[in-house]
A and B are shown apart, each in its own frame.
Chain A
Amino acid sequence: MKALGSLIALTGLTLLLTGCWSKMELTERAFVLALAVDKGKEEPLEVTAQIYRPASQFGAPSVQTTSTSFVNITLDGNSLSSIIRNTKTVSGRHSQFSHIQIILISEEVARERLSSILDFFYRDPEIRLGTSVVIARGKARDYLAGKAMIENTLGSQVFKQLNFSANLAARAVNTTILDLAFQLKSESASAMLPIIMHDRQFKQNLVQGIALAKPDGVVGRVAPDKVPYLLLAANEYNYGVLEVPCGRGEAAGQKESLEVLRANSKVTPVLKGDSVSANIEVKIDASIGEMVCTMVRDMKDEAKYAKRIEQHFKEELESVLNTLQKQQTDVLGIGHKIYLRHPYRWKKMKPDWPETYARIPIKVNVQVDIANSKMMNPGPFSRIGED
């Protein structure tokens, strides 16, 4: 009896424990899959939420096929949270942000302010910190309008594009809102964000290029063809193909390609007295992709070829670093590294770090290791072993 009494008491007490829940059926929720933040015509902000529209199975089949599986709701206002709260008045369902896949911020807005917009996302418990952020050239909501190519919704389409671009093509970087917070809150106070743009010629959207951001907003960008070198320097390179120009001769203007199997880099800041400098060691394991103008017959030739590639990469890396320094965006985290090793000296250096950073010499060292030629057997198009 005593046991039963205490059991009932304990069970009752558990009900008083705090928890974080909201009971709601799936049919009462509207799942937001993507958000686009633009500048409004009259109000400072205009937010478009892409909501998944479940296809009811009880309708006629013809209705299902013609309709898209999402709807976009656009509202304007002063603050993100109030706009988002108002989306309920349009959709008639509770907007659920737990499955949001991507947040698009138009470049126009992002140049003005960045961290203050994102503040809402860090406070709201529903949004995952793993949600990716993309800077959109032009109107952000245009990228959510229309029809998705393969995926169900345009939000997931952009999300997949970003993932592929960042992981396999090395044309962008996948920055989640948590990464963004870390980068902007670090001592270097700079971040990289992917860019989505519209290709007018072929009428399609591309996720290529990187925007350079500071806590106050986006300050510049790196062109898609320079992005791989930025990623190499920042040790964010996963897989991709790098191009090497042919140089003078019959094949001038053509390019050879190299598939990167593994790439590592290490940034080391050097403090000598008052002078600051940095070293970047980049190590690339690659296999030959296409050969147009080079002949590799033996180990000597290969070493020579590797040297040429290293030289080219070094120039490219230096040009990217030059851009970074001009923009005073320390996305490689040199400042943060100095802070970690010499916290007291960093205190003095911190106020003029952006200016210091723009001036410091950065020494680049590239080492390329050609792992294989991807030849199962010497074939007709090979330039390996030909006389």
Chain B
Amino acid sequence: MNNQSKTVITNLSISTNPVENINRLKDIFKQCADIAYERIAAGPDMSCTAWIVYCESLADQQSASDILSVLQKMEMRRRGNGDSLTTQAIREWFEFQGIIDRSYFIHDTLESVVRMVLQGHVVFFMEQWDHAVSFDGLKLETRGVDEPSAERAAIGPREGTVENLSMNIGMLRLRLKTPDFKIVKIPPAGPRSGKEIVYGYMDGVVPPAVLQQFEQRIGKVKDYEIIDTTMVEKLIQDSVWSPFPQCRFTERTDAAALAVLEGEIIVMSQGSGVVLICPSLFVEFLQSIEDYYHRTVFTFLIRALRVTAFLIALFLPSIYVALTTFHSELIPTVLLLAITNTREGIPFPAVLEVIIMEFFFELLREAGIRLPQAVGSAVSIVGALIIGQAAIDSGIASPIMIVVVALTGIASFSIPHYNFAIALRLLKVPFILLAASLGGFGLMIGILLLLMHLCSLRSLGQPYFNPVGPFRPRRFDMLFKVADLDKTGQGAA
């Protein structure tokens, strides 16, 4: 990650001779076909030459010609006719900040010029001036604002983020009209990717210790190449090896705005619609933005359902294995007889049966994600046939096992955050193995280890398993109840 850029351009100052500058730039951008150099001449007898440099693939052609119109305007307003215009006059115009209708930047090193060109700026060199002027000419293709496909909600706004950072910030600013909502730009990540990253928070609501911790960690981002916001998680998270994610992601602007209101920090980057929210706690992964739009009673029930789904997704296969191989006396008689009926003639022990079926299921899930949509549906039909009917008919799996595996899968789908559901998929395998080797006793060992891990895990210094560990019975409503409407503006906490 830490290898230096091959092209060394540090501390090259801008020469007063534009041709020299252009030659140096051409040298730096050797074999970069998308860099355009244009020469323009003005002044008495076309004696005054200037150069425009920009990246064709990023900057709008229109922006390149804009610079000429700026010069023309300047002529009309301030400096008389074109004949009397001198480089000296133009220089003064920019340095003393005359009236121009676009924002511009003045650079004095080639290094910053190169960076600006690659960010889509149009750079303007002039004779006898050791500075360069640049205008933002970035023109990106942006798709329209749409409902994020990964986070659909029955009610609530249909607004999702797009790949354009400034549009995203704009959408958030529309929801949080206060100077307390800070958007901080940090130095771009990585010498090669140069990702523009910003973070936002609500001043006065976010705990200062959390913010300080966060700033310390995000500061390291300049040393790493970042392609997408999701990669920032690796710099912010407390524990790398924990299966549980400590940041959550959203593409909904309402969810991001709410997180900011509740004192969390969001991270966004140019070219990505993903908003990273940290610090995220265990209970927050079981919550969905929609909970805030529904009636309280329904929210309570739906959250209770998700807690159940969490337990099912994590423990159901292992409990089934433990019960059938070690503790058959715990199964009610009639159910037991039904299970023995279905198990009779299956050649595998229960644990192998579970692992085979879980393997089938995971395989299908993976196949379904990667394939194009048209083929994906074919996979699910084949999968339903293989996992369902064929496995039973051929005596590989018992119907009750299909129920167990299917229920586990559906339960993991009902977890609102995908990265959290992955943790459950991961953890269920060791639990199955523990249950198969030591039964309920092994399951208990596993649960204790899991609880120990969850209780010691921190998310930006905040206890991850709050309110269970540290044990705060009064805050158990976090699990099931949405906070009342925020009246004071002090954050719903």
Contacts and interface: CB of A to CB of B under 8 A. Distances in A.
Interface of A: 7, 11, 14-15, 17, 19, 21-27, 29, 31, 33, 52, 54-58, 96, 98-99, 101, 126, 128, 152, 156
Nearest to A59: B345
11 contacts: A15-B438, A19-B438, A19-B441, A21-B438, A21-B439, A23-B326, A23-B439, A31-B336, A54-B337, A98-B329, A99-B333
A204 to B, nearest CB: 23
B194 interface: no
Contacts of B371: none
Contacts of A156: 333
Nearest to B336: A99
B329 A99 contact: yes
Interface in B336-391: 336-337, 339-346, 349-350
Interface residues of B, number: 26
Contact of B324 (A17, A25, A152): A25
A57 B438 CA distance: 30
Contacts of B333: 33, 99, 101, 156
A29 B449 CA distance: 32
A55 B337 CA distance: 10
B329 A52 contact: no
A22 B337 CA distance: 19
A54 B333 CA distance: 13
B337 A11 contact: no
A21 B344 CA distance: 22
Contact of A29 (B328, B341, B392, B439): B328
Contacts of A98: 328-329
Contact of A27 (B329, B343, B441): B343
Given A25-B349, A156-B333, A54 B325 contact: no
Interface in B439-464: 439, 441, 445, 449
A22 B326 contact: yes
Nearest to B399: A57
Given A55-B341, A57-B341, A57-B345, A11 B325 contact: no
A25 B329 contact: no
A58 B343 contact: no
B243 interface: no
Interface in B398-423: none
B340 A31 contact: yes
A31 B337 contact: yes
Nearest to A159: B333
B344 A56 contact: yes
A104 B438 CA distance: 36
Contact of B325 (A17, A19, A24, A57): A24
A32 B342 CA distance: 18
A14 B326 CA distance: 18
A68 to B, nearest CB: 13
Contacts, number: 73
Contacts of A29: 328
Contacts of A55: 341, 344
A375 B324 CA distance: 52
A330 B46 CA distance: 130
B438 to A, nearest CB: 8
Contact of A54 (B327, B340, B438): B340
Contacts of B191: none
Nearest to A55: B341
Interface in B161-206: none
A31 B332 CA distance: 12
B395 interface: yes
- Complex A-B, nearest 7 residue pairs according to Cβ-Cβ distance, in ascending order: A98-B329, A54-B344, A56-B345, A54-B340, A56-B344, A99-B333, A58-B345
Given A19-B441, A31-B328, A99-B328, 18 more contacts: A11-B449, A15-B438, A23-B439, A24-B325, A25-B324, A25-B343, A26-B325, A26-B343, A27-B345, A27-B346, A29-B328, A54-B343, A54-B344, A55-B344, A57-B345, A96-B328, A98-B329, A99-B333
A17 B439 CA distance: 14
Contacts of B392: 57
A57 B345 CA distance: 8
B344 A27 contact: yes
A54 B339 CA distance: 9
Nearest to A96: B328
B324 A52 contact: no
Contacts of B438: 15, 19, 21
A126 B327 CA distance: 11
B455 to A, nearest CB: 14
A374 B341 CA distance: 46
A168 B336 CA distance: 27
A22 B438 CA distance: 9
Nearest to B398: A57
Given A56-B345, A156-B333, A26 B340 contact: yes
B423 to A, nearest CB: 20
A49 to B, nearest CB: 15
B395 to A, nearest CB: 6
Given A31-B336, A58-B345, A26 B439 contact: no
Contacts of A15: 438
Nearest to A30: B340
Nearest to A101: B333
A26 B345 contact: no
A254 to B, nearest CB: 43
Contact of A57 (B324, B326, B344, B441): B344
A52 B326 contact: no
A25 B350 contact: yes
A21 B441 contact: yes
Nearest to B343: A26
Contacts of B346: 27
